[in-house]
């Protein structure tokens, strides 16, 4: 049996500061790795910022349930505020995930058309400053730093796709990037007893960034087998989403993954979903449509594609497909 396609590690700073050969090596390595939907990217995020954000979020999830529930936003469909255990459900599963979440995004000014049309995605974040003062300032700094990194990674992908390096920059202007802190509770399982915290799925967005997790558990489906995601130190895990698959006409597939507990212990992680502005038209890039790879996806708005997936994963409060 052949070995699964490897997940490679690349250096973002080498792409930005290196000569043409170094830049091309990063682009080539990234595109080869994204056959798995995943790549490990050496980052320059502040470790102090990561320490402070992850520490604050661990404090939040340790609060009593009745305190966390105060940050639930009715009608938000998992796009802001707190979401409890056993709600979000992978599209292919009938079993809700064992995870609780805190979600936040960057607001836009009052009167902005995006705020009027998508209030649950562009309003002021609902974060636990009442219980943990200073949380909003800290977590918005994390959000902006991670979004900056994602914008830079997408420039690598743009070059690999044969479009201008700034191609994705336009669709990220006032984009709906969503940061999600996740707590997977200890399942009290014996070592070696596998428990699926979050079932197999692909993300909806362009790319997702995971700077750190407090325990193993993320697995990637590569060539039909599950492979542990184990990045080198100082690397962020980046995976691709359904919207990028759509834009690239299937050239870059979504990274299929799950989160699994192998024995006792809890897990904390923070992911950031990089979304285009909701009114972006997801039309396959011309360089990705060839006689060998004919057009496979019709054009759809990013907001409509997101709404489809929110329904599929059981987050529409007024019409849950699973109770």
**222-266 confidence digits (pLDDT tens):** 999 999 999 999 999 999 999 999 999 999 999 999 999 877 889
Q: Which of 244, 308, 315 is nearest to 276 (CA)?
A: 244
Residue-wise pLDDT tens digits, 38-84:
999 999 999 999 999 999 999 999 999 999 999 998 877 677 899 98
Q: Closest Cα to residue 246, out of 292, 312, 295, 201?
A: 295
DSSP-derived secondary structure letter, 161: T
Q: Which CATH number fits domain 41-319: 2.60.120.330, 1.10.10.10, 3.40.1160.10, 3.10.450.50?
A: 2.60.120.330
% of the chain beyond a pLDDT of 90 = 71
Q: Is residue 152 classed exposed, middle or buried when 0-12, 13-18 and 19+ CB atoms within 10 A define those classes?
A: middle
Residue 178 and residue 147: Cα distance in Å, rounded?
A: 9
Distances (CA, A) of 81 to 73, 155, 202, 209, 252: 6, 30, 22, 20, 31
Q: Smallest Cα–Cα separation from 310: which of 97, 86, 90?
A: 90
Give strand pairing partners of 259. 198, 218
**Is 235:43 a contact under the CB 8 Å cutoff?**
yes
**Domain assignments of the chain as residue spans, ordered by start:** 41-319
């Amino acid at each position: 049996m052949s070995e699964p396609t490897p997940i490679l590690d690349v250096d973002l700073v080498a792409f930005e500061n290196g000569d043409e050969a170094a830049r091309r090596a990063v682009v080539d390595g990234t595109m080869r790795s994204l056959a798995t939907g995943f790549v490990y990217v050496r980052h320059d995020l502040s470790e102090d910022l990561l320490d402070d954000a992850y520490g604050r979020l661990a404090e939040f999830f340790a609060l009593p349930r009745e305190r966390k529930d105060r940050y639930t936003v009715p009608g938000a469909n998992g796009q802001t505020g707190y979401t409890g255990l056993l709600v979000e459900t992978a599209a292919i599963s009938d079993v809700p995930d064992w995870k609780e979440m805190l979600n936040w995004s960057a607001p836009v000014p009052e009167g902005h058309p995006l705020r009027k049309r998508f209030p649950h995605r562009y309003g002021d974040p609902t974060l636990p400053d009442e219980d943990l003062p200073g949380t909003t300032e800290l977590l918005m700094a994390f959000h902006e730093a991670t979004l900056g990194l994602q914008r830079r990674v997408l420039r690598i992908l743009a070059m690999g796709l044969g479009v201008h390096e700034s191609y994705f920059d336009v669709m990220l202007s006032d984009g709906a990037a969503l940061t999600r802190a996740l707590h997977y509770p200890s399942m009290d399982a014996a070592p070696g007893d596998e428990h699926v915290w979050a079932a197999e799925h692909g993300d909806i967005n362009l790319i997702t960034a995971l700077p750190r997790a407090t325990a193993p558990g993320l697995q990637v489906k590569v060539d039909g087998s599950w492979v542990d995601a184990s990045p080198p130190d100082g690397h962020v895990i980046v995976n691709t989403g359904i919207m990028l698959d759509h834009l690239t006409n299937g050239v870059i597939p979504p990274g299929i993954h799950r989160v699994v507990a192998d024995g006792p212990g809890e897990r904390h992680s923070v992911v950031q979903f990089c979304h285009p502005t909701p009114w972006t038209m997801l039309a396959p890039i011309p360089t990705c449509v060839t006689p060998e790879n004919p057009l496979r996806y019709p054009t759809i708005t990013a907001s409509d594609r997101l709404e489809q997936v929110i329904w599929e994963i059981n987050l529409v409060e007024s019409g849950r497909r699973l109770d």
